[in-house]
Amino acid sequence: MSNNQPEYPMPAMEDVHLVDVLRALGDPVRLRIVRELADGEPHPKQLTGWGFDLQKSTVSHHFRTLREAGLTETRVEGRAHLIRLRRAELDHRFPGLIDSVL
């Protein structure tokens, strides 16, 4: 990653707490994002492609909340920002949680 590109910090999985995950999943928009990301593969983070009738800043807030709660990872590749559900790590830390919300 180039030094002039933004970094997207996320907590180490051992620092992810169930209460923070559940709080993040308690919002219908964020739950919808998690369902879209359920395959665990990276998806483009272009804000117009998610079908939300929300301001871009609001959608960005939801992506940030998911990342800061430890649910997602955002990676920069050139000009593309890719977001993925940390599915394998979450399944290991909280077995059955993601399946139960899907």
Domain contains 1: no
| Domain enclosing residue 54, as ranges | 13-101
Q: What is the pLDDT along the chain (102 residues), one digit of tens a residue?
A: 444 455 789 999 999 999 999 999 999 999 999 998 998 889 887 755 677 778 878 888 999 999 999 999 999 888 888 999 999 999 999 999 999 998
Domain contains 61: yes
The pTM for the full model equals 0.87
Give the pair of three-digit tokens for residue 60: 């960005």
CB 65 within 8 A of CB 24: yes
Domain contains 43: yes
For residue 64, give the CATH number of its domain: 1.10.10.10
For the chain, the domain total comes to 1
Query: What's the N-to-C CA distance of the chain in angstroms?
Result: 33
Domain contains 25: yes
Q: How far apart, in whole angstroms, are the C-alpha atoms of residue 70 and residue 92?
A: 13
Domain contains 7: no
Domain contains 2: no
Q: How far apart, in whole angstroms, are the C-alpha atoms of residue 25 and residue 56?
A: 19
